[in-house]
Amino acid sequence: MTTAATDLPPPEPSRPVVLWRRFRRNRAALLGLFLFTLVVGMALTAGLIEPNDPLRRAGVPLTAPFANWDTPLGTDQLGRDILAMLFYGARISLLVGVVATLISIGIGIVIGALSGYFGGWVDDVLMRITEAFQTIPSFVLLLTLVAILGSKIEWIALAIGIVSWTAPARMVRAEFMALRNREFVDAARNLGVSNTAMIFKEIMPNAIPPIIVYASVVMALSILLESALAFLALGDPNYASWGNMIGQGRAVLRTAWYCAAIPGIAIVLTVLSFSLLGEGLNDALNPRQKK
């Protein structure tokens, strides 16, 4: 006598699988992921394009794109390989973006969490400090910090992070104010959980999704700010960056437009990739907010 197998429901997919399924429904987000992967690939393979120094002279100055296959994208007015500098510029953009984002989000989380959780005079003091930073235009403050700290790439990333923390702080504060009176917080408080554990173990995991989404915005903003500094000749001249390429290429814009146009296109596509990724992450992490 055979026994019929019991009908078991299929196992539920894990959370990462569910998030990926939501993410891939957004075709624009997939395009952003492709562009981001392309930029990361450029950064990782820069050493294969130019194993020595991307700032060295590689050919005749102002060689047009595709005129010489040793320098496929041409050379600038100093004879440097535009393709090599483009790949190394991806490293600088990602480095500045990641470091500045970590600094910005880190400061924003601490300030916003303390302000939103404790409220009262703590909230008043921290929000007045935040408002004081917001009264100064971000780029003006960035120029001041770079003038004080110097134009090394490390200081530039630090300065960008310092001028970008106010918006994440306000966002985290709003999330904490919405979550601090929820039932699971009251239950943890009744069990004697400390304030530190309450902030970082109970409330923070529930406030993470919008922070992750906003991090993509900060990444894009950081790349634009670094490029703007380099365009104004305030970047680090010891590194090949897209902003430096545009700033130097404007001197020959009428005769060799590609010197500025090629890195400009790279910046546009990179910033676009983070914007599309942020939209896709928002759809995946907050499906109810999708219009």
Domains of the chain listed by start with CATH number: 42-50+88-289 (1.10.3720.10)
Q: Tokens for 281? A: 């992450």
Q: Which of 124, 128, 135 is nearest to 163 (CA)?
A: 135
Q: Tens digit of pLDDT per residue, the chain (291 long)?
A: 444 445 556 666 777 777 888 888 888 999 999 999 999 999 999 988 888 889 889 889 998 999 888 889 999 999 999 999 999 999 999 999 999 999 999 999 999 999 999 989 999 999 999 999 989 889 999 999 999 998 899 999 999 999 999 999 999 999 999 888 888 888 888 888 888 889 888 888 888 888 888 899 899 999 999 989 988 888 888 888 898 899 888 888 888 999 999 999 999 999 999 999 988 888 887 765 544
Burial category of 102 from C-beta neighbours within 10 Å (exposed 0-12, middle 13-18, buried 19 and up) = middle
Q: What is the DSSP letter of 115?
A: H
Helix (H), strand (E) counts: the chain: 13, 0
Give first-to-last CA distance, the chain, whole Å: 56
* Cα angle value 66/78/36 (rounded, 5°): 60
Model pLDDT, residue 281: 87
Instruction: Say if residue 183 is exposed, middle or buried (CB neighbours under 10 Å; 0-12, 13-18, 19+).
Output: exposed
| 68 CB-contact burial (10 Å; exposed 0-12 / middle 13-18 / buried 19+) | middle
CA atoms of 193 and 196, how far apart (whole Å): 8
Residue 147 dihedral angles phi and psi, to the nearest 5°: -65, -35
- Give residue 124's pLDDT: 94
* Partners of 81 in the β-ladder: 75
Residue 36 has a pLDDT of 94
User: Would you state the pLDDT for residue 193?
Assistant: 84
Alpha carbon 145 to its chain centroid, in Å, reads 20
Q: Look at residue 49 in the predicted model and tell me its pLDDT.
A: 87
Rounded Cα–Cα distance for residues 164 and 221 (Å) = 9
pTM: predicted TM-score of the whole model, two decimal places: 0.87
Residue 110 has a pLDDT of 94
Euclidean distance between CA atoms 54 and 50, whole angstroms: 6
pLDDT at position 7 is 55
Instruction: Name the token pair of 106.
Output: 């880190």
Q: Is 75 helix (H, G, I), strand (E, B) or coil?
A: strand
Res 5: pLDDT: 47
